[in-house]
Copies of this chain bind each other. A is one copy, B any other.
């Protein structure tokens, strides 16, 4: 294993179906199949899930948030404990984001300059500075398989001028990220961190073109599309995605950050996206809503009080084999942890089952039909 990416593609294509792609990505912690959905383990755990639960649900790669892990327990602690995959008991592929999305979400606690972002911790108000170099040092210490360049993600809506500024800064920071990453890779342990670049540009396709060309020119082993799913309409999201993805090399994995709903994932796969992450399945599960084959189900609603059916009658997960909506609703009402565990497991399984269906349908050249059938059932309003 080489500590630096040697230029060989980490992406192996299997087959395509229209623009939809079926492939796999190789990392030092093993291979994951694409299109892939990565559950989000903000502070080193996917909330209410154990590593064994994630395996059992079929996840092959999970994400950790650099911002959260930097603050607690600290990147040096994670490094001392063997890196993220070992720390969280997962021992399989992991990815860390750049922290950019989080620090820009802090808004009035941040001070932006071309050097980086100064921000206050949401935990104790202490002041910190993220620069591209610092983020690379943190992500290298966290030691995920895939790490993200520090980028500037603007809120939606953004003026064209602000978006252009963020594109310029994102390119500058990508170059600085790559430089520091290359230095760090020379000296550290043999574990290979794969640095992905991020394309910004808000919903301005002219800026997306500029950003894509800049990021692609840096020859990262994978490329991400950032700054979508931040409040724009679904049509705007598809328009920006369709425009941008055409500019990204086909021989490298393409990651749409922070997306999304099942219908968004199906749309993005149809344009050739390989990787997704989103907190929706776990966050919504904890607040009383799960995803099902017939659409979102607000299981906390009173109408489920004596409903003996599983969360999803078409689901093969172990929760749906064993527990009723009535029981899981009762646990929610009693703030029982077990309820959050069961609901989260179901929704993560549902997302992984969606990805399994997507992958199988691409292999058979039937993705368009799969998408159509899925959406017809999903939007049949059975649950509403």
Contact = CB atoms under 8 A, between A and B. Distances in A.
Contacts of A340: 337
Nearest to A336: B45
Interface in A324-338: 324, 326-327, 330-331, 333-334, 336-338
Given A73-B330, A77-B326, A326-B77, A49 B305 contact: no
Interface in A241-275: none
A160 interface: no
Interface in A315-361: 318, 322-324, 326-327, 330-331, 333-334, 336-342
Interface stretch (A80-88, A96-104, A134-142, A164-172): A80-88
Nearest to A337: B48
Given A89-B322, A89-B327, A330-B72, A339 B306 contact: no
B336 A341 contact: no
Contact of A330 (B43, B49, B334, B337): B43
A371 interface: no
A281 interface: no
A277 to B, nearest CB: 18
Contacts of A333: 72-73
B327 A81 contact: yes
Contact of A331 (B44, B305, B318, B342): B44
A89 B87 CA distance: 32
* Residue of A306, A308, A330, A333 contacting most chain B CB atoms (<10 Å): A330
A88 to B, nearest CB: 6
Given A47-B336, A73-B305, A339-B45, A318 B81 contact: no
Contacts of A88: 327
Contacts of A337: 47-48, 286, 337, 340-341
Given A52-B318, A326-B73, A330-B72, A306 B81 contact: yes
Identify the 5 closest CB pairs spanning chains A and B, nearest first.
Answer: A45-B338, A48-B337, A89-B322, A73-B330, A89-B323
